[in-house]
Structure 1
Amino acid sequence: MNFSSWPSLLVVDVEGNGTTPPDLVEVAALPIREGRPDKSTAGAWLTRPNRPITSFATKVHGLTNDMLAGKPTWEEIANQVHDFLGTSWICAHNAHVDYRVLKAHLPKWEPAGVLDTLRLAKATLPELTGYSLDALIGHVQPDLSEAPAQRHRATFDAFATAQLLIAMARHYNAWDQLVAAAVPPGLPGAPEPEKDPGLW
């Protein structure tokens, strides 16, 4: 895989407050440059949700209402996040979720495309019995020594997802092959199905 041929790509992860639909409490966006995650230009935001964080959500990601009490509201940072994401491709694990939540919070945002490491893993590693982020970390054994925070925080999960993407991308010769394996149907960037030429 020639990583220099990749378009602008951000690995993203979001954490919510546990309500339905969720309010965002953390967003991370990690650029991939020349086949490596670039922490020096990453974006990360903590935001105070409009509704309190549920106890279940706190048990998952560790963020509490007290920790976010002094953080900006989403309305205060939405333009900054929108500008950072721009029109880059994004990648996430189980990308439908992250894309749907980000799109709900940023209605005018539209990425060039959406890679899903869950879909990519099923195509690349069909022998596995599980495809959760933890299962893939256990199988691929990516280098997470520089990962910020801890598992289930957006910055850590984005870093881990980036390392998994890079490792699995090495199984493909070209960007278009990666896209065909990793973009879920119906999401931005999905290859157009071949049209039936019919009889004429």
Structure 2
Amino acid sequence: MDVGTWPELFVVDVEGNGATPPDLVEVAAVRITGGRPVPTLHTLVRPPRPITPHATRVHRITNDDVADAPCWEQAAPAIQASLHGAWIAAHNAHVDYRALSRHLPGWEPAGVIDTLRLARAVYPDAPGYSLDALLTYTAVPLDGIPGRRHRADFDAHATALLLLDLAAHYPTWRALAAVGVPASMPGAAAPDYEEQTLW
């Protein structure tokens, strides 16, 4: 597939503080440009509620790490401006899409690609579909990615590489989107019903 035919797309990842619903503590976006991932946005966020010990064990972001970070109200304008009018992609995308939508009232991406859906279609015999399992299964090269696993900047970059691997199995953007966009998400194709008449 010619990646140059793609619409503007950012692969995103967010990390939360472990609350229900979660406050965001880290946001990253990687733009697909010229067939390669380009880190575009990364910020820590000081949440209104402390990061739980469980969340810290997963992403290793502590309350001290975010003590001097901007609060959401300070970080949101740049995040919204970066993602405005673009497609987004993420692994298990409904999680990141819902978190961003909840924090960015009025924002809606042009569409949402879920690499989990694509992976299930492309690799039906994969032993697992977590991001870790798929990175191992596809052997996409992770050398040189900044940060570490379970941090937003690393995971967004790794997911972008996975997306490019999956995209190689589709002839066109339209074919990829037909599989990769969940039915309830922006960018989903309208149902192709036959016209109903009374006659």
TM-score range (shorter-chain normalised) is: over 0.9
Question: How far off its partner does 1:181 sit?
Answer: 1.0
> 1:26 & 1:148 partners in 2: Cα distance?
15
> 1:2 & 1:72 partners in 2: Cα distance?
38
Paired AA for residue 68 in structure 1: V
**Runs of 4+ with >2 A deviation:** 196-200
> 2:146 & 2:18 partners in 1: Cα distance?
22
Who is 1:111 aligned against? 109
Question: How far off its partner does 1:196 sit?
Answer: 2.4
Verify: 1:140 aligned to 2:138, yes or no.
yes
SS of the residue 2:65 aligns to = helix
Q: Of 77, 99, 102, which aligns to 1:101?
A: 99
Which deviations, in whole Å up to 9, do the C-alpha atoms of 1:19-74 show, x marking residues without a partner? 000000000010001210013xx100101000000000000000000111111100
> 1:89 & 1:81 partners in 2: Cα distance?
14
How do 1:43-54 and structure 2 match up within 5 A?
43-54=41-52
Which moved further from structure 2: 127-136 or 47-56?
Answer: 127-136
Question: How far off its partner does 1:77 sit?
Answer: 1.1
Paired AA for residue 136 in structure 1: L
Paired AA for residue 113 in structure 2: L
Paired AA for residue 175 in structure 1: W
Question: How far off its partner does 1:132 sit?
Answer: 0.3
Who is 1:76 aligned against? 74
How do 1:50-199 and structure 2 match up within 5 A?
50-198=48-196
Who is 1:5 aligned against? 5
Who is 1:36 aligned against? 36
> 2:68 & 2:34 partners in 1: Cα distance?
37
> 1:13 & 1:48 partners in 2: Cα distance?
17
Question: How far off its partner does 1:197 sit?
Answer: 2.6
> 2:126 & 2:140 partners in 1: Cα distance?
16
Paired AA for residue 2 in structure 1: D
Give me the identity figure in percent: 55
> 2:4 & 2:38 partners in 1: Cα distance?
14
SS of the residue 1:67 aligns to = coil
Paired AA for residue 158 in structure 1: A
> 2:23 & 2:196 partners in 1: Cα distance?
48
SS of the residue 1:159 aligns to = helix
TM-score by length of 1: 0.97
> 2:183 & 2:31 partners in 1: Cα distance?
24
> 2:95 & 2:86 partners in 1: Cα distance?
18
> 2:31 & 2:139 partners in 1: Cα distance?
21
Structure 1: 5+ residue runs without aligned partners? Answer: none
Structure 2: 5+ residue runs without aligned partners? Answer: none
